[in-house]
Amino acid sequence: MVVPESQEKMYDPPNNLQRDAHVPDFDSYQAMYRKSLEDPEAFWKEIADEFFWKKPATGPMLQYNFDVSKGNIYVKCMEGAKTNMCYNVLDRHVREGNLGEKVAYYWEGNSPGHHATITYRQLLSHVCRCANVLKQMGVKKGDRVSIYLPMIPELIYAMLACARIGAVHSIVFAGFSSESLSERIMDAQSSVLITADGVYRGEKLINLKHISDEALEKCREKESCSVTTCLVVKHHSMRTISGTSCNKLQISWDSQRDVWWDEAMADSPEECEPEWLDAEDPLFILYTSGSTGKPKGVMHTVAGYLLYTSLTFKYVFDHHLDDVYWCTADIGWITGHSYIAYGPLANGATSVLFEGIPVHPHVGRFWEIIEKYKVSKFYTAPTAIRLLMKYGREPVQKYDLSSLRILGTVGEPINAEAWQWYYEAVGHGRCPVVDTYWQTETGGHVLTPLPAATPLKPGSATFPFFGVEPSILSEHGEELAGEAEGYLVFRRPWPGIMRTVYKNHERFENTYFKKFPGFYVTGDGVRRDKDGYYWITGRIDDMLNVSGHLMSTAEVEGALSLHPAVSEAAVVSRPHKVKGESLYCFVTLKNSIDFNKTLEDELKKLVREKIGPIATPDFIQNAPALPKTRSGKIMRRILRNIARNERDVGDLSTLADPKVVEELFSERSEAAA
């Protein structure tokens, strides 16, 4: 497969990082990587020694079976050990590490006037009080607690309180509908729901309490509702300045069930002995969409997740204690769990916790916040970069971004143009861009550059992290060596990999281990180039086979995005009588550019030039906007429906803006009629 040349340009790590970097050069990376595979026991033991264990492990650092033909799939880390996540990320720093007065979070609200600073000592005190509140409500080790909160400090308090008492948190992104929330509560059978009255997201007021009431009502309609207590944070009415907007929020109250957070916390004691858990006890469940219907409750466990999120955070962001780190994700997704909460806290990091959105009250908000807190490590998503790129460099140049040292991206392949813009306009060519590939299931980064060590190629997640052994398989399950393209799989576990699908181990085995026995199957396609770099080519279900040629939608999208008129592109497969499949492309154009035949021809020519004639798009249609989930992921299933003119598009409840779908049907390419 031909790669657009601009993606082949290599960037050496800037020297300003190397002096005090944890992994200063590529040779050091290779040596450590080799050790992590050759002697995983010694490698992980050394990492574990940095943490607190109430009882040492009796079993090895890692035990597993990845082969369905040899029995049940399992992964175990440090069997026999007893510990507590919350103790390790808070008490350890405050009691042993002298970090009590260090800032854990700078909270920055949706409106620029709202902010708060929380030290490690304060965080520990809030968490213990919340833990006591939960205990008071009857929550015990192993019980599930659903959390439906915006990005406010209470979300961190609540999740760590669960971790402290051994309750299993199930955080549901506060942009999900009542339907999705109820589905997740029912699957987890949670006894407590923690929510807030309401929240502003940008200009939009969202009545979270009302959505929560609806969700609990839906649980009751379907079965008896497991939630006996609903703990409600007074966020909207406490932290909203404008009195009139407060009145817009109508809240109903069930005095048998609902409890105000502040009232419950008021006289809750600050001392709370952590529950000492087994290394393999569950820490949390996080639901992720499955290719068939029902979301999967991805389960992570205490010890392995602690070791892995902590280690990846330290190395991938080359963490030092004087850093100010900011990950713009929402804690409702795995990125927030691993790289806003657990990973940074395990390292005693200082983070920004941001409630708002990138374009409110102005499109320079991200850059303003970086300047305000002197952020040194910044982690965001390609979709956010492409959004901000549309407004040009001027809003970026207004702010002093000289504090930045490392930039990161996550969530999808980053196209060369967005990478370049991030690197130059935001990083001024001084900051490496760590393109981190991972999944809810992997718990932490699995393919990623290390900032001072790895020469970068824009669009490549480069090489495996320590302990991770990737392989590329053909359709028939043969391992492909050297330059190759196929299925991305892993042949052994690392401590942070998921352990099961909650209450459905069979689904876990079928989804990830059945297709190729002996391997964890990511569901992504990958290409290894002549230098051994890995390039994620998109989900396997987004792989296309045109006239016998395997190609990825992401590659075609990358080529389309190189055109100066294009702000974003998405490509799906459309059945074709002769070629098997054909390429149907959606393009969103930059502000005020019109879609026309000339542009269409230019785009086709560009793809042909960049990838080859086999990748020539069959259809290109204008897309004023793309159908995206609230986390910014393009819903390709819907695009496939539009490409095929199938009007029955199914469930749209996870879309940020369902109107987009109608608009796209009306803009369908004439040629495809």
* Residues engaged in binding ligand WT7 (CB under 6 A): 288, 333-335, 410-413, 435-440, 461, 522-524, 536, 539
Min separation Cβ 216 and ligand WT7, Å: 26
Would you say 164 or 636 has its CB closer to ligand WT7? 636
Min separation Cβ 441 and ligand WT7, Å: 6
Min separation Cβ 410 and ligand WT7, Å: 5
Would you say 213 or 542 has its CB closer to ligand WT7? 542
Would you say 23 or 488 has its CB closer to ligand WT7? 488
What is the C-alpha to C-alpha distance for residues 198 and 252, in angstroms, rounded to an integer?
12
Q: Is residue 409 helix, strand or coil?
A: strand
Q: Which position has the token pair 């086999």?
A: 614
Query: Amino acid identity, residue 178?
Result: S
- For strand 433-436 and strand 534-539, is the pairing parallel, antiparallel, or unpaired? unpaired
What is the C-alpha to C-alpha distance for residues 534 and 447, in angstroms, rounded to an integer?
8
CB burial readout 525-551, b (16+ within 10 A) else e: bbbbbeeebbbbbbbbebbbebeeebb
Would you say 274 or 295 has its CB closer to ligand WT7? 295
Min separation Cβ 274 and ligand WT7, Å: 28
Min separation Cβ 559 and ligand WT7, Å: 16
Min separation Cβ 524 and ligand WT7, Å: 5
Alpha-carbon dihedral angle through residues 439, 441, 442, 448, given to the nearest 10 degrees: 0
The closest of 405, 375, 345, 346 to 20, measured between CA atoms, is 405
Min separation Cβ 523 and ligand WT7, Å: 6
What is the C-alpha to C-alpha distance for residues 138 and 130, in angstroms, rounded to an integer?
13
Would you say 553 or 567 has its CB closer to ligand WT7? 553
Would you say 522 or 654 has its CB closer to ligand WT7? 522
Min separation Cβ 127 and ligand WT7, Å: 25
Min separation Cβ 54 and ligand WT7, Å: 31
- 565 by Cβ neighbours in 10 Å (0-12 / 13-18 / 19+) ranks as middle
Would you say 150 or 295 has its CB closer to ligand WT7? 295
Q: Please provide the DSSP assignment of 12-29 as one string.
A: PPPHHHHTT-SS-SHHHH
Would you say 197 or 524 has its CB closer to ligand WT7? 524
* Phi-psi domain of 482 (left: phi exceeds 0; alpha: psi -120 through 50; beta: other): left
Residue 230 CB partners (closer than 8 Å, separation 6+) = 192, 193, 194, 195, 212, 216, 254, 257, 258, 259
**Are the CB atoms for 600 and 640 separated by under 8 Å?**
no
Compute CA 110 distance to the chain's CA centroid, rounded to the nearest angstrom: 20
Min separation Cβ 573 and ligand WT7, Å: 16
Tokens of 106: 């700078």
Q: How far is CA 607 from CA 537, 548, 554, 613, in A?
A: 16, 18, 12, 8
Which residue minimizes CB distance to ligand WT7?
440
Other beta carbons within 10 angstroms of residue 564's beta carbon come to 10
Would you say 166 or 336 has its CB closer to ligand WT7? 336
Would you say 94 or 501 has its CB closer to ligand WT7? 501
Q: How far is CA 48 from CA 10, 40, 310, 314, 322, in A?
A: 35, 12, 10, 14, 23
Report DSSP state, residue 111: S
Tokens of 371: 């300047």
Q: Please provide the DSSP assignment of 383-398 as one string.
A: HHHHHHHTT-SHHHHT
Min separation Cβ 503 and ligand WT7, Å: 19
Min separation Cβ 439 and ligand WT7, Å: 4
Alpha-carbon dihedral angle through residues 599, 603, 604, 606, given to the nearest 10 degrees: 140
**Are the CB atoms for 554 and 539 separated by under 8 Å?**
no
Min separation Cβ 609 and ligand WT7, Å: 24
Would you say 14 or 523 has its CB closer to ligand WT7? 523
**Are the CB atoms for 329 and 84 separated by under 8 Å?**
no
Min separation Cβ 426 and ligand WT7, Å: 17
Would you say 369 or 634 has its CB closer to ligand WT7? 634
Would you say 200 or 315 has its CB closer to ligand WT7? 315
Would you say 133 or 446 has its CB closer to ligand WT7? 446
Residue 344 CB partners (closer than 8 Å, separation 6+) = 313, 319, 325, 327, 351
